Amino acid sequence: MTATKGLEGIVAAKSSISSIIDGVLTYQGINIDELAEKASFEEVVYLLWHGKLPNQSELDELIAQLGEYASVPAEVIAGLRLYPKNANSMAALRTAVSSLALYDAEANDMSSEANYRKAVKLQAQLPTIVAAFARIREGKDPVAPKKGVGIAHNFLYMLTGEEPAPVAIQAMDKALVLHADHELNASTFSSRVTVATLSDIYSGVTSAIGTLKGPLHGGANEAVMIMLDEIGSLENVEPYIQNKLDNKVKIMGFGHRVYKNGDPRAKHLMQMSRQLGELKGDMTLYEMSIKIEALVTGQKGLKPNVDFYSASCYTMLGIPRDLFTPIFAISRVSGWTAHILEQYEDNRLIRPRAEYVGPVDQHYVPLSQRG
Ligand code: ACO
């Protein structure tokens, strides 16, 4: 038995939700480029869960259901009030999502109908939790979700308490579309491993949030913004990046396990970053980002991934940087739950083997004889 470090190249599941073939990402066979330009996030959520785009009445019904479930149990909001004000936002989200199960009477109902309903609840409630956490830590009251509007709109509204500008809604919606699913990425894999034991969907999504949190995965978008803040100016880009490259320090937001010729999502976020800069009348973050890209790609051949330009986009939308990864989760919960439902449909325990590299032929030594 020989281990493959990081399971690189290992095909660990059959899935019909999204594919990455020759560098092209599709959701249910539809190219992400087309969806980024034309689809709303709710259409994508339906597509991932049902394998087809919704017709008008199906879409209306989904939006109504999401609205119906968007309020979070009062106990979960009360829990958020008890978290330390400086709690890590992904740790707070992970804890709150785990606690949702305690207040859902069908948390352990494993019927397909109940599991689908719980997927809708999770999709509806994650934005409410993230917005409520962000407000509570600033000493503000949470804003109740609106009915009849999309998730991007509702999230920005609950975060700020104000009606968001159409351009902000559009940008957020596109970002949600681009982050919704990504084949067997680390967090999706961990959700499938968890539910393959026939554990419940809340446990699966809690595992996934914990996995997304790391800086090698979803946490990279916040790390990119920390880097941009540290660099601080266009002139400082070159010395800062050169120093990192010379010292073989990883540049966050670059590289990918699967894409070697570039992440197809990055160009959409780059375009959005430029447009948001133009609208704001301040191109600094965009220009810093393209300069970093030129240096890193030029010297290392590494291309930006989905996290790189999302950092400048979210900042230009006025979002604090530690909410970037929770926003990733607000979108990716659609993919996690689609994969969880798919796993339940044709389940087998996921239990690989390890290549043992420890000592052999050892014996028990009595405590008194150990050095
Ligand atoms: N900056 C500098 N060098 C890099 C980077 C980077 N961002 N990414 C990879 N490399 C180098 C590695 O140092 C390594 O070089 P070496 O062979 O000389 O040691 C080589 O490229 C291969 O890198 P690995 O880390 O082995 O590649 P792996 O497939 O395991 O990792 C990963 C992929 C984690 C995305 C990696 O590229 C990385 O750490 N990037 C920065 C973090 C990041 O942006 N993560 C978000 C990914 S997208 C997402 O999850 C949503």
Model-wide pTM > 0.85: yes
User: Whose alpha carbon is nearest atom 29 of ligand 1?
Assistant: 257
363, part of any domain? no
**Do 23 and 97 share a domain, yes or no?**
yes
Taking the CA of residue 185 as reference, the ligand 1 atom at the shortest distance is 50
Q: Cα of 161 to ligand 1 centre, how many Å?
A: 38
**Do 111 and 133 share a domain, yes or no?**
yes
**Do 159 and 34 share a domain, yes or no?**
yes
CA 264, CA 143: separation in Å to the nearest integer?
35
**Do 281 and 202 share a domain, yes or no?**
no
User: Whose alpha carbon is nearest atom 2 of ligand 1?
Assistant: 250
**Do 186 and 92 share a domain, yes or no?**
yes
Q: Cα of 18 to ligand 1 centre, how many Å?
A: 22
Residue 232: domain span: 220-316
Contact 193, 350 (CB under 8 A): yes
Could you tell me where the beta strands, DSSP code E, fall in the chain? 18-21, 24-27, 30-31
Q: Is 292 in the pocket of ligand 1 (CB under 6 A)?
A: no
Q: Cα of 255 to ligand 1 centre, how many Å?
A: 5
42, part of any domain? yes
**Do 330 and 185 share a domain, yes or no?**
yes
Q: Is 329 in the pocket of ligand 1 (CB under 6 A)?
A: no
Let me know if 307 is a catalytic residue.
Answer: yes
What integer pLDDT is reported at residue 1 of this predicted model?
87
Q: Cα of 302 to ligand 1 centre, how many Å?
A: 9
46, part of any domain? yes
Q: Say which CATH number the domain at 23 has.
A: 1.10.580.10
331, part of any domain? yes
Burial pattern 287-310, b for ≥16 Cβ within 10 A else e, equals bbbbbbbebbeeeeebbbbbbbbb
**Do 224 and 149 share a domain, yes or no?**
no
Q: Single out the residue of 268, 146, 292, 122 nearest to residue 195, CA to CA.
A: 122
Taking the CA of residue 182 as reference, the ligand 1 atom at the shortest distance is 51
Using CA atoms of 117, 122, 127, 130 in order, give the dihedral in degrees to the nearest 10: 150
Q: Is 25 in the pocket of ligand 1 (CB under 6 A)?
A: no
52, part of any domain? yes
CA distances from 19 to 7, 50, 94, 181 (A): 18, 16, 27, 9
User: Given the structure tokens 């470090």, which residue do they identify?
Assistant: 5
User: Whose alpha carbon is nearest atom 46 of ligand 1?
Assistant: 217
Mean pLDDT in each 10-residue stretch from start to end of the chain (371 residues)? 95 97 97 98 98 98 97 98 96 98 98 98 98 97 95 98 96 98 98 98 98 97 97 98 96 95 96 97 98 97 96 97 98 98 98 97 97 92
Q: Is 257 in the pocket of ligand 1 (CB under 6 A)?
A: yes
Q: Say which CATH number the domain at 242 has.
A: 1.10.230.10
User: Whose alpha carbon is nearest atom 39 of ligand 1?
Assistant: 216
Contacts of 166 (CB under 8 A, 6+ apart): none
Let me know if 268 is a catalytic residue.
Answer: no
Could you tell which of 256, 259, 260, 327 is best to mutate to test the pocket of ligand 1, judged by most ligand atoms within 8 Å of the CB? 256
Q: Cα of 64 to ligand 1 centre, how many Å?
A: 41
Tokens of 98: 């785990």
Q: Cα of 274 to ligand 1 centre, how many Å?
A: 25
Strand order in the sheet with 30-31: 18-21, 24-27, 30-31
Number of domains making up the chain: 2
5, part of any domain? no
